[in-house]
Amino acid sequence: MWRRLSFARPTLDQRQETSSGSRTPPASQGIVKPEELYDLLSEIENAALQVYKTNGLPTEAGHYAKAPGQKMWKMIAPALTPAERWVFAIENPANTGWKYGMLKDLGVHSCKGSVRQAAKLLAECHAVRQSTAATSHQGELVSRAIKLGFEWRLLIVAAEPKRKPLQLLPVVES
What are the beta bridge partners of residue 74?
65
CB 159 within 8 A of CB 51: yes
pLDDT tens, residue by residue, 43-73: 889 999 999 999 999 999 999 999 999 999 9
Average pLDDT over residues 70-99: 90
Q: What is the pLDDT of residue 21?
A: 46
On whether the pTM is more than 0.95, the answer is no
Domain ranges of the chain: 33-57+107-157, 63-103
Q: Which residue has the higher pLDDT, 163 or 86?
A: 86
Instruction: Provide the angle, in degrees to the nearest 10, between the axes of the packed helices 113-134 and 34-54.
Output: 150
Pick left, alpha or beta for residue 29 (phi over 0 → left; psi -120 to 50 → alpha; otherwise beta): beta
